[in-house]
Structure 1
Amino acid sequence: MLLTKKSDQELIQEYLHGNEDGIKGLLERYKSKIYTSIYLKIKDEFLAEDIFQETFIKVIHTLKEGRYNEEGKFLPWVMRIAHNMIIDHFRKEKRAPQMVAAEGFDIFEVLDVADENVETTLIKEQRDVDLRKLIQKLPDDQKEVLIMRHFCDMSFKEIADITEVSINTALGRMRYALSNLRKMLAGNHLVLQTG
C-alpha cells in the first residue's frame, strides 16, 4: 500500500516498527500546514524552521517513548506541540512575538506562473500582502483562530482543543476576527478580489 493511502495511525505504527518511511510520510503529509501555522504566528523564516524542526524532534521522541495516545488526531496533536514550542521560545526570550508582515513579492514566483499574466499575478501578490498586514493587526487570540482555520484548514473543535478554550469561544473569536477584518478593509478602501 502506498504511504499516501495509509492513515496517520498506520504510518505511526510503521515508524514504531522500524520503518522510517512512516515518519517521512507523516512529515510530507503535514509539513506545509504545520510550518505555515508556525510562520504566520512569528513571521521569521529561520525561527519558524527551527521551531518546526524542534516540533518534529519532540514528536519523534514522544512516539519512540510510547507516549502518543491521540489516536486519529495526529495533526491537532502536532499543532498543539508547535503552539507550545512557540510559547516556550518567547518565554525564554522574555519578549512578545514580533508579528511583522512580509513585504513585497518574489519575482521568480511571477515568472513561474505560465497561465496568468504578470498584472494578475502582481494584483494577487499585493492583495495577499495587504491581507497579511491586516491580519497582523488583529488581537492575538483572533489572529490565531483565523490562521488555524483558514491557513491550516483546522476544525473549530481542533482549534478549541489546541488553544484550550470552548468551541463557542473559538467561534466567537473567528466572528470578531472576520468583523474586524471587514472594518479594516473598508477603512483602508481595500477590496479583496479572487482574480
Structure 2
Amino acid sequence: MDDKVLVGLYQKGDQSAISELIRRYKQRIYSSIFFLVRNRELAEDLFQETFIKIINSLRKNHYNEQGKFLPWALRIAHNLVIDHFRKQKLMPLQHDSEEFSVFDILPQKEKNPVERIIHDEKMELVRALLDKLPKDQREVVILRHYGGLSFKEISKMLDININTALGRMHYAILKMREVMDEKKIRLKE
C-alpha cells in the first residue's frame, strides 16, 4: 500500500495507517535527525516531536504532498532541528556517547561475526569521514544517502538551488576521497 493511501486511511480514522508509516520510515527519519544533532537523547526527542507534528498536520488536513510522505516528514524533522538550534543558539559538536552509532539501528543482513566486525569498522570510518565535512555538505550527503531524497527534494527542503545541492554533494565526495587518500583508507575489499 503506498503512502498516499495510508495517509488517506489515517485521515479517515484508521490508526493502523499511521503506525505503518512510522514503521516504514522511523529508521530513516531518526538517522537523519541523529546525524544532524549528534546526540541520542536529543535525536529521540526531536524524532517524537516530528511524529507529533506529522500527526497534527494530518489531522488538520495540511498534507498535500501528492503521496511523497518521506520527503515531507524529513522536511518537518529538519525544520525542527533548525528550530531547536535557533532556540539554543548552538550547533552539535560531539557525540553524546562513543558507544552509540546510528548504524546500530540501520537494518542489515545477517552477517557472520567477522563480516560484522568489518562492517562496523567501515561504518565508523564513514562516520569519521562525514564528521570532516562542513555542515552544509554533510547535510546534503545525509539527506541523499540516509534520507533517500532526490536532489530536487533536498534543494526544496534546504531552500537552495538544485545546482547548489549537487555542488555540495560533489565537494563532499571530493573531500571524503581526499581524506581517504591521505589516510590510505579503502572501504571496498
TM-score, structure 1 normalization: 0.86
Q: Alpha-carbon deviation of 1:31?
A: 0.9
RMSD (Å) for aligned C-alpha atoms: 2.2
The unaligned stretches of length 5 or more in structure 1 are 1-5
Aligned residue identity for 1:172: G
User: Which one of the candidate residues 127, 149, 152 is aligned to 1:154?
Assistant: 149
Q: Which has the higher contact order (CA 8 A, sep 6+)?
A: 2
Check if 1:76 corresponds to 2:71.
yes
Q: Alpha-carbon deviation of 1:115?
A: 4.3
Counterpart Cα distance in 2 of 1:87 and 1:132: 21
User: Which one of the candidate residues 50, 56, 60 is aligned to 1:61?
Assistant: 56
Aligned residue identity for 2:120: E
Check if 1:144 corresponds to 2:139.
yes
Matched positions, count: 184
Check 1:160–1:26 CA distance in 2 against 1; reply closer, same or farther (3 A cut). Answer: same
Check if 1:98 corresponds to 2:93.
yes
Which residues of 2 match residues 16-35 of structure 1 at below 5 A? 16-35=11-30
Counterpart Cα distance in 1 of 2:19 and 2:122: 34
Q: Alpha-carbon deviation of 1:127?
A: 1.8
Q: How many percent of aligned residue pairs carry the same amino acid?
A: 44
Counterpart Cα distance in 2 of 1:115 and 1:51: 31
Q: Alpha-carbon deviation of 1:102?
A: 6.2
Task: Give a deviation string over 1:138-184, Cα, whole Å, max 9, x none.
Answer: 01111011111111221111111111111111111100000000001
TM-score, structure 2 normalization: 0.89
Counterpart Cα distance in 1 of 2:111 and 2:16: 35
User: Which one of the candidate residues 11, 36, 44 is aligned to 1:41?
Assistant: 36
Structure with max Cα Rg = 1
Check 1:91–1:152 CA distance in 2 against 1; reply closer, same or farther (3 A cut). Answer: same
Task: Give a deviation string over 1:36-95, Cα, whole Å, max 9, x none.
Answer: 111111121111111011001001111111222222221111111100100111112111
Check if 1:178 corresponds to 2:178.
no
11-20 vs 96-105, which deviates more? 96-105
Check if 1:10 corresponds to 2:1.
no
Aligned residue identity for 2:136: D
Counterpart Cα distance in 2 of 1:104 and 1:45: 11
Check if 1:128 corresponds to 2:123.
yes
Counterpart Cα distance in 1 of 2:97 and 2:169: 23
Counterpart Cα distance in 2 of 1:56 and 1:192: 35
Check whether the contact 2:40–2:96 (CA below 8 A) recurs between aligned residues: no
Check 1:18–1:91 CA distance in 2 against 1; reply closer, same or farther (3 A cut). Answer: same
